[in-house]
Chain A
Amino acid sequence: MREFTALYTALDETTKTNEKISAMRSYFEHASRADAAWAVYFLTGRKPKQLVQAPKLATWAIEAAGLPEWMFGESYDAVGDLAETMALLLPDSTHISERSLASWVEETLLPLRGAPDTVQRQVMLDSWQQMNEAQRFIWNKLITGAFRVGVSQRLVIRALALFSGIDAQVIAHRLMGTWEPTPAFFQALVAKETADSDVSRPYPFYLAYPLESDPRTLGDIFDWQAEWKWDGIRSQVIKRSQQVFIWSRGEELVTDRYPEIAQDAILLPDGTVLDGEILPWKEANVLPFSQLQLRIGRKEVSNKLMTDVPVVLMAYDLLEWQGEDVRATPLRARRSIMTDILRGLPGVSPEENCNAPLTTGGAEVPACQRLSTRLRISPTIQCRSWEELSQQRETSRSLNVEGIMLKRLAAPYRVGRQRGDWWKWKVNPYTMDAVLVYAQRGSGKRASLYTDYTFGVWDNGALVPVAKAYSGLTDEEIREVDRFVRQNTINKFGPVRVVEPQLVFELAFEGIQRSSRHKSGIAVRFPRMQRWRRDKPAQEADTIETVRALLQE
């Protein structure tokens, strides 16, 4: 318990990721497997169901502290946390127990469930007597099920990876699903790699840079492959040892969330890894990203959800073939093999999973619409000149894509974000001129500045909020807006300041949707401040009608 308490304190006293990881790593290095298993359990936010009701705990703490109830109440008001108040008020212990975390949890904490009050009371009074203040605080938190510490599961995984030398992806995979925090579990969690752990492992994704210069600077267009830039979830689909694994770019194993893709992927030859985009897809159309959001967070996928928002994998690259890593092979060759694999899937005639170009004009949908399979090939766009391609790019919105991807045909599949071989050439964003109406302070480094803004546009003479934006201004501009906010506040609601509607900003955003949750009836995607329109008075900002008109585009 002492070491786990020290770990909690170390995590609580820093905001720096590296220090948190190093504190956890050091804990795992010294802890027994039994303790480490429980630590992983609690640090990743798992908790036993509430064991003792909080008011009962308070009653016993008041009794042990020998204080009147009102004094406990005053103390609680000053502290603001029940577990902490109890820890601070209980009398000092004469003897601090050296029992381990696992022993406390398994032999004392878990048996509390369902025990009669008299037993629970005695156990609590005894345990408090054997702990110092910091330990009692943790203990009370564990018992009330309110234990929280500022680390994400991903940080815990990184610490475990450093400690064990096992890949983070493997650890992540081993932490999936349900498990019991036993010594054997922890041992298996950090065990040297086995065939079993290799099976699921994805490759690092290759990420594109935005193209900021004229595409002609890229040289001959025939050295490049052009595809649509899909707006979905970047994913790898792995078929190995007769099993399918789907990984999202967030290094999350999401196989269970997209069962229809997993079902089709099982038909892939063993030893195949595809890179592509999971897209919501219905009747030959890609649906807006907001539809996909309905599925992103769901671990349980109902039939209704699968009917409402069906998904496909739009595959665009091949990373492994016949169990061999083919990333060093030029794109041209990878693409050709991938096409053969996907066309050769059982139940799909070769003509069906085609690679036909999209026509211009936006009236026709990608030619692969008739396929029964949910594994599709991202079509290439055939153009003879950059000008022609540029015209094609203008149709992006009508196709529900974000623009064009440019990939060098002779290039290998690289690791991480690198310049040179892959570029994203997005269509210009939507814009609107909106008025700053509310401001809120930021967090972290920006905690003392008003950096989080809400913007409104005109609706019958009043400003209706349409977007929140946090980014896009220079530090200098932020300070200027901060000053404006402080000097022009007309009302406050908690941390939110209502300001004089004076400042106009050009907001850029990627998409626009109808929304019943927003007063304005619309929701915009990725809004950010593109320009401060100092030249524009608030009266001349956009109206809600103008913004709604973008829905039709």
Chain B
Amino acid sequence: MVAGGDLISLTESGLFCAAGNFYIDPWGPVDRAIITHAHSDHARPGSKAYLTVNEGIGVLRARLGQDAPIEGVRYGESVTMGDAKVALLPAGHVLGSSQVRISSHGQVWVVSSDYKLGQDRTCEHFALVKCNTFITESTFGLPIYRWRPDREIFDEINNWWSTNRDAGKCSIIFGYALGKAQRILAGLDPSIGPIYTHGAVERLTHEYRAAGKLLPDTIHAGSLSRGTKFGGSLILAPPSAQGTPWMRQFGTVSTAFASGWMRIRGTRRRKSVDKGFVLSDHADWDALNKVIRDTGAERIIVTHGYTAEMVRWLRENGLQAESLATRFEGELAEMQPDSAQEPQEQDESAAAAVETSTDSQEDSSA
């Protein structure tokens, strides 16, 4: 556990910086919260003041409501909070996602939150930040999780789409409404056919466009009249839409799931989709190891994911590592219908929530 004199400690409400008197992604209402990104396990309502990067304000408002007390800063801008100097640096996870750099009493700590390396047109790329203590995620902290370049995955997706189109089928990709959907959208080849969206995806895609991200045109499937023909099109939908009556309008479909978990054949089969695309907004095994080394940190604190395995691995490789039990879920949340033993009940609640639900139901904590 993190010791008393540390810059960050774990409290009832989450990660707390006493020197600056603020929380990072608290899971309860607090006076001052820094939000690393707008996924629901990191951005929860009820706090009195929120700080996030300017790029992320739109999507955060989509989650917390238009009246939420949100203040924005530029990436890299130094903000003094109490005895601490704080800066938010790009994490490369989704639009407006950041790592939190805190310096105080001659120490530099970085909270990575969720991050990934690599090229993503829909958000700022990860910036490496040197530090003394690095608090890292480990969602995919096993060596079986290694990603291939985005280009290859997008080629796979576009090929799959055109094959389905030629067979007169509609292609549905399930992925988080925030981040994953827009990243896929940016990689799609719109010359193949029309692209439709589920309401939750459309709303957040709108925020991405408002933030200046150029994305292929989309049509909100819910805005169309009954009897619209969807054959040959591609549809972006949140995982909760799988198996709901909402899907019936599309006729003959081929389904796919886009997630790092699709790396495992059994996981794909249990999700009952035709195709799995290995596409994650989290660092893979190699990236986790590279970033942890490159920060130069003497001390590594591992949060959500394969925590125990990662800590043991780092220790065996000569690093000082320990774990910290947070309530962040990483990409695990999207596997919930799978692990929850009761897929049917999940589906039923999802069916009721379709199209009318709030984001928190649709992409429950991406």
Contact of B144 among A14, A88, A482, A486 (CB under 8 A): A88
Complex: A482 Cα to B146 Cα, angstroms? 41
Chain B residues with CB under 8 Å of A137's CB are 265
Q: List residues of chain A with CB within 8 A of the CB of B306.
A: 74
Q: Flag whether B74 is at the interface (Cβ < 8 A).
A: no
Tell whether A179 is near chain B: CB-to-CB under 8 Å: no
Do B309 and A74 have beta carbons less than 8 Å apart? yes
Within 8 A of B (CB), among A59-79: 65, 67-68, 70-71, 74-75, 78-79
Q: Residues of B contacting A84 with CB < 8 Å?
A: 264-265
User: Given A13-B274, A448-B343, A449-B344, are A78 and B143 also a contact pair (CB < 8 Å)?
Assistant: no
A448-B343, A448-B344 as given contacts; A79 in contact with B143, CB under 8 Å: no
Name B34-62 residues within 8 Å CB distance of A. Answer: none
- Whether the pair A68, B266 counts as a contact (CB closer than 8 A) is no
Return the CB mask of A2-27 against B: 1 if under 8 Å, else 0: 00000000001110000000000000
Instruction: Tell me which of A70, A80, A88, A486 contacts B312 (CB under 8 A).
Output: A70
Residue B243 CB within 8 A of the other chain: yes
B313 within 8 Å of A by Cβ?
A: yes
Chain B residue nearest to A441 in the complex (CB)? B344
Q: Give the nearest-CB partner of A450 in chain B.
A: B344
Are the C-beta atoms of B272 and A447 separated by less than 8 Å? yes
Additional 13 contacts, C-beta under 8 A, given A80-B264, A85-B144, A482-B344: A13-B275, A67-B143, A74-B306, A75-B143, A79-B264, A81-B265, A84-B265, A88-B263, A89-B143, A447-B272, A448-B343, A448-B344, A449-B344
Task: Tell me the bound Cα distance from A71 to B309 in angstroms.
Answer: 8
Q: Is B217 an interface residue (CB 8 A)?
A: no
- With A65-B143, A448-B347 as contacts: A14 and B274 at CB distance below 8 Å: yes
Residues of B within 8 A of A89 (CB): 143-144
Residues of chain A at the chain B interface (Cβ within 8 Å): 12-14, 65, 67-68, 70-71, 74-75, 78-81, 84-85, 88-89, 137, 447-449, 482, 486
B142 within 8 Å of A (CB atoms): yes
The residues of A that contact B345 with a CB separation of less than 8 Å are 486
In the complex, per-residue mask of B126-149: 1 if CB is within 8 Å of any chain A CB, else 0 = 000000000000000011101000
Residues of A within 8 A of B313 (CB): 68, 71
Most buried by B among A75, A137, A449: A75
Q: Which residues of B contact A79 (CB under 8 A)?
A: 144, 264, 266
Is B143 a contact of A80 with CB atoms below 8 Å?
Answer: no
A13 to B159, alpha carbons, bound, how many Å? 15
Residues of A within 8 A of B316 (CB): 68
Chain A residues with CB under 8 A of B309: 71, 74
CA distance A14 to B272 in the complex (A): 10
CA distance A201 to B313 in the complex (A): 64
Which 5 interchain pairs have the tightest Cβ spacing? Answer: A448-B344, A88-B144, A75-B144, A74-B309, A13-B274
Are A12 and B265 touching (Cβ within 8 A)? yes
User: A71 CA to B310 CA in the complex, in Å?
Assistant: 10
Rounded to whole Å, the gap between the CB of A440 and the closest CB of chain B is 13
For the complex formed, measure the closest distance between the CB of A70 and the CB atoms of chain B, giving whole angstroms.
7
Q: Which residues of A contact B343 (CB under 8 A)?
A: 447-448
28 contacts between A and B (CB under 8 A): A12-B265, A13-B274, A14-B274, A65-B143, A67-B143, A68-B313, A68-B316, A71-B143, A71-B313, A74-B309, A75-B142, A75-B143, A75-B144, A78-B142, A78-B144, A80-B264, A80-B266, A81-B265, A84-B265, A85-B144, A88-B146, A89-B143, A89-B144, A137-B265, A447-B272, A447-B343, A448-B343, A486-B345
Question: In the assembled complex, how far is the CB of residue B145 from the closest CB belonging to chain A, in whole angstroms?
Answer: 8
In this complex, the interface size class of chain B, counting residues with CB under 8 Å from chain A, is 20 to 34
> In the complex, which residue of chain B has the Cβ closest to the Cβ of A22?
B167
Q: Chain B residues in contact with chain A, CB under 8 A?
A: 142-144, 146, 243, 263-266, 272, 274-275, 306, 309, 312-313, 316, 343-345, 347
Assembly CA distance A14 to B345 (angstroms): 25
Q: Which residue of A lies closest to B272 (CB)?
A: A447
Chain A facing B: main interface SS: helix
**Which residues of B lie under 8 Å from residue A70 when comparing CB positions?**
312
A76–B191 CA distance with the chains assembled, in angstroms? 41
A487 to B: closest C-beta gap in Å: 11
Whole-angstrom distance between the Cβ of B168 and the nearest chain A Cβ: 13
Give complex CA distance A1, B144 in Å: 23
A447 to B313, CA, bound (A): 39
Which residues of B sit under 8 angstroms from A67, Cβ to Cβ?
143
CB-nearest residue of chain A relative to B167?
A: A19
A129 CB to closest chain B CB, in angstroms?
17
In the complex, which residue of chain B has the Cβ closest to the Cβ of A482?
B344
Chain B residues contacting A447 (CB-CB under 8 Å) are 272, 343
Which A residue's beta carbon lies closest to that of B316?
Answer: A68
Residues of chain A within 8 A (CB-CB) of B266 are 79-81
> Measured between C-beta atoms, what is the minimum distance from B167 to chain A in Å?
9
In the complex formed, the residue of A with least CB distance to B261 is A78
For B275, the closest partner residue in chain A by CB is A13
Give every chain A residue within 8 A of B274 (Cβ-Cβ): 13-14
A78 and B264 contact, Cβ closer than 8 Å, known pairs A447-B272, A448-B343, A448-B347: yes
Distance of A377 Cα from B262 Cα, bound (Å): 60
| Complex-state Cα separation, A333 to B146, whole angstroms | 73
List residues of chain B with CB within 8 A of the CB of A74: 142, 306, 309
The CA-CA distance from A449 to B342 in the complex, in Å, is 10
CB distance from A57 to the nearest CB of B (A): 16
**B312 / chain A contacts, CB cutoff of 8 Å:** 70
Contact partners of B344 in chain A: CB under 8 A: 448-449, 482
Select from chain A the residue with minimum beta-carbon distance to B264.
A79
Q: How many Å from the CB of A407 to the closest CB on chain B? A: 41
Please measure, in the bound complex, the distance between the C-alpha atom of A309 and the C-alpha atom of B347, giving whole angstroms.
51
Minimum CB–CB distance for A450 against chain B, Å: 9
In the bound complex, how far is the Cα of B269 from the Cα of A81, in angstroms? 13
Nearest B residue (CB) for A70: B312
Expressed in whole angstroms, the minimum distance between the Cβ of A32 and any Cβ of chain B is 25
**A85 to B264 Cα, complex, angstroms:** 9
- What residue in chain B is nearest A80 (Cβ atoms)? B266
Query: Least Cβ distance of A510 to chain B in Å?
Result: 32
Q: Which residues of B contact A12 (CB under 8 A)?
A: 265
Q: Which residue of B lies closest to A492 (CB)?
A: B341
Residues of A within 8 A of B243 (CB): 448
Question: In the complex, which of the residues A65, A137, A448, A449 has the most CB atoms of chain B within 10 Å of its own CB atom?
Answer: A448
The winner among B142, B266, B275 for most chain A CB atoms within 10 A is: B142
| Most chain A beta-carbon contacts within 10 A, residue among B143, B266, B306, B309 | B143
A12 vs B274: C-alpha distance in the bound complex, in angstroms? Answer: 9
Q: How far is the CA of A449 from the CA of B348 in the complex (A)?
A: 12
Q: Contacts of B263 on A, CB cut-off 8 Å? A: 88
Q: How far is the CA of A137 from the CA of B344 in the complex (A)?
A: 32
Task: Report Cα–Cα, A486/B348, bound state, in Å.
Answer: 13
Closest residue of chain B to A78, judged by CB? B142
**Which residues of the other chain, A, contact B347 by a CB distance below 8 angstroms?**
448
A551 to B144, CA, bound (A): 59
- Cα A13 to Cα B347 in complex, Å, equals 22
Q: Which residues of B contact A13 (CB under 8 A)?
A: 274-275
In the complex, chain B residues whose CB is within 8 Å of the CB of A78: 142, 144, 264
Question: How far, in Å, is A150 (CB) from chain B's closest CB?
Answer: 10
Q: Distance (Å) between the CB of B286 and the closest chain A CB?
A: 10
